[in-house]
Chain A
């Protein structure tokens, strides 16, 4: 059972465009994490959001946690080829993570 739904599944854009990835759940998590995974490697943590309504920025990446702590979004401004990867959201439940299926982002020059 997939508790976290990510959309879209796949996103292909040109360098310089903006994109948004969504992560939705019917469950409330104590925190939500976003990871990026590149081919042949394990996921790497980008950010953890904890408080409902929280917004965190990491250079060109903006992460938002919904007021009810059930959904989150990742917005990338002026995407670059280096942003290409699989973006995974994960809800934290007492240290155990529930992962979404991921959004594959491809940024072409």
Chain B
């Protein structure tokens, strides 16, 4: 049982290049999330997918796109990378139930992205 996996672990891009961050979970969770973590800022939600076939913007969606490929996989794409997108990116999943207060999110190990 791998939990949440992310690829790649590290990436260096030049300004203007594009890339896709991959995320997969094997816990049969319905909801998936992408966050970025910057020093002193905590984790900020970029996009989320409450269920297969739906995606919604989070707090900081500009410059990103997402695809919920199937129930297991949720990818994050940077079309034209900028230095401001240098960050650590985390994918998370949960079995979201709106009638429950206990919506634990399980996080992947992160992707460390540097944009030069």
Collect the chain B residues with CB atoms within 8 Å of residue A2's CB.
41-42
Collect the chain B residues with CB atoms within 8 Å of residue A82's CB.
none
Collect the chain B residues with CB atoms within 8 Å of residue A109's CB.
none
Which residue on B lies nearest to A44, using beta carbons?
A: B107
Give the residues from 90 to 116 in chain B that come closer than 8 angstroms, CB to CB, to chain A.
Answer: 90, 92, 94, 96, 98, 101-110
Partner of A43, one of B41, B96, B102, B107: B107
Partner of A48, one of B4, B41, B92, B104: B104
- A72 and B116 CA atoms in complex are apart in Å by 39
Collect the chain B residues with CB atoms within 8 Å of residue A50's CB.
101-102
**Contact A48/B105 with A96-B58, A101-B41, A102-B42 known, Cβ cut-off 8 Å:** no
B81 to chain A, nearest CB (A): 22
Q: Is the CB of A97 within 8 A of B107?
A: no
- A90 and B37 CA atoms in complex are apart in Å by 14
Interface size on B, residues (CB 8 A): 27
Give the residues from 37 to 59 in chain A that come closer than 8 angstroms, CB to CB, to chain B.
Answer: 40-45, 48, 50
Q: Is the CB of B42 within 8 A of A95?
A: no
Q: Is the CB of B101 within 8 A of A99?
A: no
Q: Is the CB of B48 within 8 A of A100?
A: no
Per-position binary interface string of chain A over residues 16-29, scored 1 when its CB falls under 8 Å from any chain B CB and 0 otherwise: 00000000000000
A105 at interface, CB cutoff 8 A: no
Per-position binary interface string of chain B over residues 42-61, scored 1 when its CB falls under 8 Å from any chain A CB and 0 otherwise: 11110010100000001000
Q: Is the CB of B101 within 8 A of A92?
A: yes
Contacts beyond the supplied A31-B101, A42-B90, A102-B42: 11 A-B pairs with Cβ under 8 Å? A2-B41, A2-B42, A31-B102, A42-B92, A42-B107, A45-B104, A90-B43, A94-B98, A95-B103, A96-B58, A100-B42
* B residues whose Cβ falls under 8 Å from a Cβ of A: 4, 31, 35, 40-45, 48, 50, 58, 90, 92, 94, 96, 98, 101-110
* A residues whose Cβ falls under 8 Å from a Cβ of B: 2, 4, 9, 30-31, 33, 40-45, 48, 50, 88, 90, 92, 94-97, 99-102
